[in-house]
Amino acid sequence: MKKITLKDGSVREYEKGTSLSRIAFDISGRLGKEAIAASVNGKMVDMSSSLEEDANVEFYTFNDEEGKQVFRHSASHVMAQAVQKLFPGTKLAIGPAIADGFYYDFDSPVKFTPEMLEEIQKEIDTIVKNDLPFNRREVDRKDAVDFFKSCGEDYKLELINDLPEEASITYYQQGDFIDLCAGPHVPSTGYLKAFKLTNLAGAYWRGNEKNKMLQRIYGTSFPKKSMLEEHLFRIEEAKKRDHRKLGAELDLFSILEEGPGFPFFHPKGMVVRNELEKFWREEHYRRGYEEIRTPIILNRELWERSGHWDHYRDNMYFTKIDEMDYAVKPMNCPGSILIYKGKLHSYRDLPIRMGELGLVHRHELSGVLHGLMRVRCFTQDDAHIFMLPEQIKDEIIGVIELVDYFYNVFGFKYRVEVSTKPDKAMGSDEIWENATSALEDALKAKGMEYKINEGDGAFYGPKIDFKLEDCLGRTWQCGTIQLDFQMPEKFDLSYIGEDGQKHQPVMIHRVVFGSMERFIGILIEHFGGALPVWLAPVQVKVLPITSRHTEYAHKVVEALKNAGIRVEIDDRNEKVNYKIREAQGQKVPYMLVLGDREVENASMSVRHRSEGDMGSMMADAFINKVNEEISSKKIS
């Protein structure tokens, strides 16, 4: 008998050779039906695999990220099978799972068209209906080469030749279709109930423009039709909420040909930005941070000392001043370090918390630029905390609580990941292990669940990442806490301890918004442009019905301005219903309609952009209502 240890710590015994599928059904009928793949001692395997030794076993369904990856990679194989059947002579390149879907690259004598996607879709439906099993086979290199050479699959041969000599080679077969693949895959094509092919694109083989241009077909897949329909609905909703579209319609920002990747914020966009920065400053002052500002350009020697020159040079911009090399800063930390280093510190001074809304520049390829979400210059709401080693846990907890407070203000749910040492990193394994343990200890002290994200830390230290979830269920990387033992050593930072000797402080790098530009883009999409009253560029629109109501309307505007409310008047000679529709299109939270009755009673007819007519109110009552929403940062 062999023992398996499940994720919950429970232990079960099974005969050697028992399939993982049978084990899953033994645990529960539902798990048996829904399990897509499993991991045995950390290695992903098919459900048909058998138990050969004592092992830690974890099963994955479509609800798990690992399960989604297996499911959609299997879907790419089915699509490739359909394409090769319909269009003989088509050669296969690669077909990975990606976020929310998959793609496959083809070298075909046929030029694919959008109309052909429907034909491919029908063939896919047939393959799914036939419920063909995915069969894995391990072969030696010579047999693999002979087989794919006989099929004319040049791209597969190139992939095989790039594998190490000692690597095992496997392929998967469903029906008469065979593809080179490490797996795992779903048990059979019948699992892939709901498909949607979404679009066509061109792609160079291996992403190299010197190679041949291939044809790429994108798609997505789900185990239920209802899940596919919900996904497609979210896509359509996301198009309506696209921050680039709304940013132009609401006159918030623009990105122009003269500066690709360098956003221009318009007056209304600056209102949003300034309100966010005001909130940031107030909260950081309350929590013991002091604001600083550091130069955008600093000399090469500094960036060599910090490690950025070796580890981040490809993403930096450079210039020469007085025949010396300088770099535009991609990060704010070296500037904060220089301020700390500029004076002698006692252990009594620590922790020192320095906050900076610092403009940084990073070179991004033009193909990945995307509105405010991926830019070449952005403002980080950075802070750097210099502390005693015994203060680490409390300071990390303090940052976690700050991040939690900020995200709750905006109504965001979030998940937490701990990112560990990357392949290219500074410092010893021992230092990294100590730093990673400190981050995990703080999260455990707060009772927070988190996921380990192997190898995704910064080059100078591990980090906690906070990933926001918006109203469409999409996640966005925003807040980060990075624990750093490296920079203090590289810059010879010190403080005088109780013993009168010099000691090295520990450093935290952290952001809450992450990038001001990106966070604004997220807010625009999350709220569909209808920002909360405290952030709305125009909080109230005053709409006199005719010209004889204009004088009173201007008095109302003056009263609102004096109360600190952002207000505009629309006194054009247009019908009031037209003015209302336009104000609603501009996502203005409140509209005040003023006619004869309002002039006579010194009142106002109040409309809300989503609730509609709210009846008549006196000026003082309305001002108090709006200011209460502003001060409480009400989000709906």
Instruction: Choose the catalytic residue: 185, 268, 284, 362.
Output: 362
User: What is the maximum span of the chain, computed from C-alpha positions, in angstroms?
Assistant: 94
Integer Cα distance of 621 and 618 in angstroms: 5
Nearest to 71 by CA among 104, 34, 126: 34
384 among known catalytic residues: yes
3-state secondary structure 281-297: HHHHHHCCCEECCCCCE
Q: What angle do CA 475, 477, 480 make, to 5 degrees?
A: 140
574: tokens are 């247009």
Q: What is the SS3 assignment for 323? A: coil
- Select which of 382, 465, 470, 571 is catalytic: 382
Q: Is 574 left (phi over 0), alpha (psi -120 to 50) or beta?
A: beta
Q: How many residues does the chain have?
A: 636
- Report how far residue 345's alpha carbon sits from residue 335's, in angstroms, rounded to the nearest whole number: 17
Q: In the annotation, is 509 catalytic?
A: yes
Q: Pick the catalytic residue from 68, 77, 243, 463.
A: 463
69 is catalytic: no
Q: What are phi and psi of 68, to 5 degrees?
A: -60, -40
Q: Which of 62, 81, 60, 82 is nearest to 72 (CA)?
A: 62
CA atoms within 13 A on the CB side of 480: 21
333 in catalytic set: yes
User: Which of 384, 421, 510, 541 is labelled catalytic?
Assistant: 384
- Active-site residue (options: 380, 391, 482, 486): 380
Catalytic residue among 333, 421, 549, 586: 333
Helix (H) or strand (E) holding 60: strand 55-60
124 phi, psi to nearest 5 deg = -60, -45
3-state per-residue secondary structure call for 462-480: CEEEEEEECCCCCEEEEEE
Q: Which residue type occupies 37?
A: A
Other Cβ atoms within 10 Å of 451 Cβ, number = 12
Q: Whose CA is closest to 67, among 95, 31, 17?
A: 31
Judge contact between 619 and 605, C-beta under 8 A: no
Determine contact, residues 64/35, Cβ cutoff 8 Å: no
Dist CA 365 CA 410 (whole Å): 31
Collapsed DSSP state (helix, strand, coil) of residue 170:
strand
Query: Which one-letter amino acid corresponds to residue 571?
Result: D
How many H helices and E strands in the chain? 20, 33
> Would you state the structure tokens that stand for residue 117, as one six-digit string?
């996607």
Q: What's phi and psi for 450, nearest 5 deg?
A: -155, 160
Active site residues: 333, 362, 380, 382, 384, 463, 509
